[in-house]
Structure 1
């Protein structure tokens, strides 16, 4: 039989929680009014969206050579940025781990990570376009900074969660610091680091299409140009190509994880 204790809700009633939900609901209602959200505009938007999608069908792949050229450039940007970004994230993430390094090392490393995570990729892309000009180099630098901000933070947190018993045992045996890192620290976080790296590569592929909109190379520039020319059938072909590219990247990521987990 079910007792009263078993029927009791696992969440305790809280006046503060209920008050918080009421405040949140009131704020959402206020924000919708402040942002001039109306059902009339929403319904009109559905009609405009249906018209826009209708103009995208059927996709136009006649300029496939331009499409392939831009996709190859996008992949090159993502691969180079991932290689350098992940490579830089490894030492920066180690330096940011508080259980391995003193404060005078962790604070500068965490500052670098915080700066790299502070801005949207489009803002970084605009800054680098101004600094080095239009083209793939601006996109590569943008994605390197993004990779350091993401991978560096996750890698530092992963190191801070390791068991310190192997580290202490190797230190007690007189092992040098680099040996401690290689044989006591990295084996505990290696699989997670591979997961972080493959996810970041996927993210760099997606972001490389976005930063191209502001002139940082890749297929994003062609995508934006198709929007400006109202060339919606070619736009559909670009979007389909990007989706296929991301799906292939996801399949590759799964294969890489399977190899390292075996």
Structure 2
């Protein structure tokens, strides 16, 4: 059987990389819209230069950082960590059933559609917006922040978990069903072993994300170091603001290191 013929090389007068005018037109339209949007929002070069000058002045007022109020700073960090851990634990636990219900290869169409609609609703709003709603509903404190991050965790983990389930091999599921196992045993022994590693990875990523988000929800009164940061800004206490910002950076970096350690331990 003869080998397939190779495509003849382009001639000396032919461009081997022809221009894609459709892509160029889309890029041109996108660039034109960006220019139009900047003009509509008043974004000008003069405003950018003035902003750089004001930003430099603000940074100069922050230096050196003020770490004298360590008790207040550590209290805010501790509350942010607690919010992140509690919301991740409950978010992961609640994401399991929603992930199963949203998997289209395991559930009827109407069940998976309803579950996916709820997951999309959880993902529709930024955690800060959800935190504002919970603050208005139950008052200030850590509880609104925890509830807001639980909603965010469900929206993220459930979606990825459902997509991971849809990629599994159904042969193992059918083998477990053939033994006479019920629905829950089929899920535990037929589905979870195939997605366990990915689910742990999703949970660890969400923990890292919740640590960052827990520093933001406090700005709207939902607990954590964000509330301390917002109060310091209102008092124009910029050296303490820099101390808080450096502490938040250190907290996020430590959370990243802790997440990597857990990944090596479980994956």
TM-score computed with the length of structure 1 as normaliser = 0.93
1:42 pairs with 2:48? yes
Q: What residue in structure 2 maps to residue 8 of structure 1?
A: 16
Question: 2:75 — aligned with what?
Answer: 69
Question: What is the CA deviation profile of residues 217-255 of structure 1, one whole-angstrom value per residue up to 9, with x for unaligned ones?
Answer: 111111001111111110011011111111111111111
Q: 1:55 aligns with which of 27, 50, 61?
A: 61
The answer on 1:230 being equivalent to 2:236 is yes
Aligned to 1:165: 171
What is the distance in 2 between the residues matched to 1:66 and 1:29?
45
Aligned to 1:253: 259
What CA distance in whole angstroms lies between the structure 2 residues aligned with 1:36 and 1:73? 39
Aligned mates of 2:76, 2:35 — CA distance in 1:
44
Runs of 4+ with >4 A deviation:
none
2:24 maps to: 18
Secondary structure of the structure 1 residue equivalent to 2:251: helix
**Number of aligned residue pairs:** 256
Q: For each residue in 1:20-45, what CA deviation from the matched residue of structure 2 results, as whole angstroms up to 9, or x when unmatched?
A: 11111111111111111211111111
In 2, distance between residues paired with 1:39 and 1:18? 26
> With structure 2 as the length reference, what TM-score do the two structures score?
0.92
* Aligned partner of 1:85 among 72, 75, 91: 91
Matched, 1:105 2:111: yes
Match of 2:101 among 81, 95, 103: 95
Paired with 1:192 and 1:8, the residues of 2 have a C-alpha distance of 42
Tell me the CA shift for residue 4 of structure 1.
Answer: 3.7
From 213, 218, 222, the equivalent of 1:207 is 213
After superposition, the CA RMSD in angstroms is: 1.5
CA deviation profile, 1:111-161 (whole Å, cap 9, x unmatched): 221111111111111110111111011111111111101111111111111
Match of 1:239 among 214, 229, 245: 245
User: Which residue of the other structure, out of 138, 148, 154, is the alignment partner of 1:148?
Assistant: 154
Structure 1 segments unaligned to the other structure (5+ residues): none
Structure 2: gaps of 5 or more residues:
1-7
Give me the whole-angstrom Cα distance separating, in 2, the residues matched to 1:4 and 1:243.
55
Distance 1:165 1:130, change over 3 A: same
